[in-house]
Amino acid sequence: MSEETRIEEGSGNLWADIGRADADEALARAELMRRISDAIRARGLTQAAAAELLETTQPVISDLVRGKLSRFSLERLIGYLNALGNDVEIIVRAHPGDGSARGRIRVAA
């Protein structure tokens, strides 16, 4: 017996693929969290040391590095990136098209 496996290519945004209404924001938060985790790791900081630097607690850092999206707003993550010495730019521009489509949120490289 042979079973056929169906493979569907994702959009690049897991949250959009599963139908989450705030998919762009969720992806942006996940990307910012990844960059914060990378910066903590690159500096060789323990979670306790990172918590002190970011003026929070070790359990909060644990949640951050484990990707608990619901615990972190974009604003909070931007503050953490700033505390780690990163500049964050926010660029607002018109979405191409006739104006009927909703704009997007994305984290650029």
Quote the pLDDT of residue 104. 83
Q: Residue 52 CA to chain centroid, in angstroms? A: 22
pLDDT at residue number 101: 78
Cα separation, 41 vs 63, in Å, equals: 15
Using the predicted structure, report yes or no on whether residue 11 has a pLDDT greater than 70: yes
Residue 31 has pLDDT above 90, yes or no: yes
Mean pLDDT to the nearest integer, 4-23: 88
Q: Which residue did the predictor score with more confidence, 19 or 78?
A: 78
Question: What DSSP state is assigned to residue 15?
Answer: H
Question: Does the domain formed by 14-83 have CATH 1.10.260.40?
Answer: yes
Pick from 104, 80, 81: nearest CA to 92: 104
Say what the pLDDT of residue 1 is.
Answer: 61
Query: Could you tell me the residue ranges of all domains in the chain?
Result: 14-83
**pLDDT tens digits, one per residue of 40-95:** 999 999 999 999 999 999 999 999 999 999 999 999 999 999 999 999 999 888 87
Q: What is the DSSP string of 31-96?
A: HHHHHHHHHHHHTT--HHHHHHHTTS-HHHHHHHHTT-GGG--HHHHHHHHHHTT--------PPS
- Residue 17 is classified by DSSP as H
Higher pLDDT: 4 or 79? It is 79
- Rg of the chain's alpha carbons, rounded to an integer? 18
